[in-house]
Homo-oligomer: A and B are copies of this chain.
Amino acid sequence: MNTPDENFAALGLTLPPAPKPLGVYKPYLIDGKYLYVSGHGTVREDGTLIVGRIGDTMNDDDGKLAARQVGLSILSTIKANLGTFNRIKRVIKVLGMVNCIPEFEKHPFIINGCSELFREVWGEDNGVGVRSAVGMGSLPGNIPVEIEALFELIE
């Protein structure tokens, strides 16, 4: 059985830079065995943001890739601050927020882009937590997806 770090390496993906706060908040906070992660956005490898509204300027597949990119930015925050994905025992909770037109209905498909990434890193059981995937009226900088998460650390 591989470690989360080995699982991530096997994916051959590159992490974007860990995002700096865009306001008065911390990107992450540790409270005992809990790792809270602030709402993260669609940071690309070059530090720019994927922008757009799903159902308007972006289609479903673009949106799912955007959610995967949000997952990568969360992984980047973890890697930059904890040094390893191995310190995380499991995903507890994900709140997946989608910037889309009012008629959009496939929020779970979009947020799977992040959830499948977490599952690839931490596995079928530990990589999957509870979740809500919902449609917002708007998101900062017109990013298509923002995700916040709660993880359990290995004590």
Contacts and interface: CB of A to CB of B under 8 A. Distances in A.
Interface of A: 22-29, 31, 36-39, 53, 92-95, 97-109, 111-112, 115-116, 119, 128-142, 146, 148, 152
A136 B135 contact: yes
A12 to B, nearest CB: 21
B139 A135 contact: yes
Contact of A130 (B26, B100, B115, B152): B26
A26 B128 contact: yes
Contacts of A38: 130-132
A108 B109 CA distance: 27
B111 A23 contact: yes
